[in-house]
Amino acid sequence: MLGGVLAGSCEWVIEAYARFGGLAARLHEAGAEQGGFGLHLAVWDQLRAVNGPTLCRPCTIGWRYPALSLWWLALPVLVTVGIAGARRTGNLRSSILAAACGLGVAVQYLFLIGYAAPRFLLPAYALLAIPVADALAWLVSGTGRNLRKITIPAVAAVLLVQLVAQHVVLDHEVRGTVAFHDDYRRVVTDLRRLGVRPPCLIKGEQDIPIAFYAGCASAPTMARALAAGQHVAVLVSSGQSPPGYARHWDRYPLPGSGVLDAIAYVP
């Protein structure tokens, strides 16, 4: 364990000096990318995002499908039961190690950033699956014979319901993702008709994926791109106002943006 921690830390420290100019600079840049590091109670954000969207930033949505999120609330209880069951069966060390590592991975996303995405906690779920498995094993085989007549069907029923529920969530999110990616391609086609081709810069609504599909950049400042003579475009959702520098640019509704319903502003 100590060797793994040291190996991972050394790589991170060396890369910090080689690519970012030091530890403080790397932490500063990482914090800027995340909107600032600090104490943020993102537990509620993660709970709201557990059934989608894939990125909740800022996380202003309501709690979607609470019944499908009960497993998330039950997870700490199951981990605790698993550790207690592992103690009785002599597997305490492996269960505690997995739980501690899972908690260490999850802490930064639950308490240190101000937004949420379900994928952030996937490594933690994979690690916590070990004490959860210990809990289920104890419920199935570690209880009395009479009690097993209840626990075995109950565990089987819960696992079946969880499998079906997660398949429903997965199917919903995949269909939504496919719709968005189809929209990205149609928006790129519309932008190319407007003359936005590489070298180019795209800013605004969903600018990172759309810029990727268009072969454009999304990171440099608009002033730098204009000074370099690049093609630029600002994407704004219908009903929203463009940034100040683009208010006098030509306005083009993008008919291909069905889900996004976007408008392009081009100089």
pLDDT score of 97? 94
Q: What is the pLDDT along the chain (267 residues), one digit of tens a residue?
A: 889 889 989 999 999 999 999 999 998 888 887 777 788 889 999 999 999 888 888 888 888 889 999 999 999 999 999 999 999 888 899 999 999 999 999 999 999 988 999 999 999 999 999 999 999 999 888 778 888 889 999 999 999 999 999 999 999 999 988 988 999 999 999 999 999 999 999 999 889 899 999 999 987 788 888 888 899 999 998 888 999 999 999 999 998 777 888 999 999
pTM passes above 0.85: no
pLDDT value, residue 166? 93
Q: What pLDDT is stored for residue 55 in this prediction?
A: 86
Per DSSP bridges, beta strands 262-266 and 231-237 are: antiparallel
User: For residue 23, what are its two tokens?
Assistant: 């530890």
pLDDT at 19: 92
DSSP lists the bridge partners of residue 252 as 264
Instruction: For 53, list phi and psi in degrees, rounded to 5.
Output: -75, 170
Nearest to 26 by CA among 39, 9, 35, 13: 13
**What pLDDT sits at residue 69?**
92
User: What does the H/E/C string look like for the chain?
Assistant: CHHHHHHHHHHHHHHHHHHHCCHHHHHHHHHHHCCCCCCCCCHHHHHHHCCCCCCECCCCCCCCCHHHHHHHHHHHHHHHHHHHHHHHHCCHHHHHHHHHHHHHHHHHHHHCCCCECHHHHHHHHHHHHHHHHHHHHHHHHCCCHHHHHHHHHHHHHHHHHHHHHHHHHHHHHHHHHHHHHHHHHHHHHHHHHCCCCCCEEEEECCHHHHHHHHCCECCCCHHHHHHCCCEEEEEEECCCCCCHHHCCCEEEECCCCCCCCEEEEEC
| Two structure tokens written together for 53 | 């969207």
Distance (Å, whole) CA 77 – CA 192:
53
Non-local CB neighbours of 64 within 8 Å, separated by 6+ positions = 48, 51, 52
What is the predicted pLDDT for the residue at 132?
Answer: 96
- Contacts of 168 by beta carbon, 8 Å cutoff, 6+ apart: 68
What pLDDT sits at residue 60?
86
